[in-house]
Amino acid sequence: MSTTAPLLQIEALSIEYQGQSGVVRAVHEASLVVREGESVALVGESGSGKSTVARAALGLLPPRTAGIVAGRLLIEGHDVTRYTERQWEGLRGNPVAMVFQDPLSFLNPVMRVGRQIAESVQRHDRAAHDVKARVAELLDLVRLPAGTMRSYPHELSGGMRQRALLAVALGCRPKLLLADEPTTALDVTTQAEMLALLRDLRQRLGMAMLLISHDLGVVWEECERVYVMLRSRIVESGITREVFRSPAHAYTAGLIRAARAARDADGRFETIEGDYATTGG
């Protein structure tokens, strides 16, 4: 067994938001681990706390309204729970980068895509001696034409914008990619292309991924381990196929039943359905 510290280790983490009506506990004693090269999923209903966990792992909680109130957050074995904004700047991008659900909200609308990728490279990739060549390489890596570097975000399709944002993240050479619902706003064909791209990049770059998703079909196909979140708590975790075939928590079982009922015509849940049916679920 490797003695290398996990890329991301969250221990009994609790996060609170200060709202107009009082304090809200968004995450309650959550624990999870992502190791080198792993693909791990965090699933659950909207509002369960999934995105809050991801933002905390990148130091992106709104400072005036949210904060960690208990537990620890470690990156490569270093406790970053109380890091200042300046300290976080040294970690964002490398070793941890993030791709958000709505790329149009995170790409600068008045800056060409190539320049945005170049800024990421200049800031985080000390090995890049030719920035323009590195930008072209990144565009090719995410399967975008070279001419995309001259485009503005609004000139691109949703799938192309998501790939452009991915290129910005990869410009930092991350060891761990946090992917927050990266396929939610895409059509089915583009979703499949994006997932295939992420799979290929993980293999080629040796990159780990924490995938936040409500799509159990995607999790079944892409992730080795899964954490299930309900109302701010992680209620179940384990090897994906084992959890899906024999869920221990009623909420997980309900998610699987819902996914079976709404599964796509490609039948990607047939295996889960057959195995889970034998448990009497």
**CATH number where 72 lies:** 3.40.50.300
Residue 269, phi-psi category: left (phi > 0), alpha (psi -120 to 50), beta (remainder):
alpha
Residues 220 and 153 in one domain: no
Residues 44 and 162 in one domain: no
Residue 48 lies in a domain: yes
Q: Please, what is the Cα angle at 217 between 214 and 218, to 5 degrees?
A: 70
Q: What domain count does the chain have?
A: 2
DSSP-derived pairing of the beta strands 78-79 and 66-75: antiparallel
Residue 115 lies in a domain: yes
Distance separating the N- and C-terminal Cα atoms of the chain: 36
Residues 145 and 7 in one domain: no
Residues 143 and 70 in one domain: no
Domain of residue 146: give its range: 105-173
Residues 206 and 80 in one domain: yes
Residue 100 lies in a domain: no
Per-residue pLDDT of the chain (281 residues; tens, 9 = 90+): 456 899 999 999 999 999 888 999 999 999 999 999 999 999 998 889 999 999 999 999 998 899 999 999 999 999 999 999 999 988 888 999 999 888 888 999 999 999 999 999 998 877 778 999 999 999 999 999 999 999 999 999 999 999 999 999 999 999 999 999 988 778 888 888 999 999 999 999 999 999 999 888 889 989 999 999 999 999 999 999 999 999 999 999 999 988 877 665 445 544 454 444 333 33
Residues 118 and 147 in one domain: yes
Residue 279 lies in a domain: no
Residues 132 and 68 in one domain: no
Residue 256 lies in a domain: no
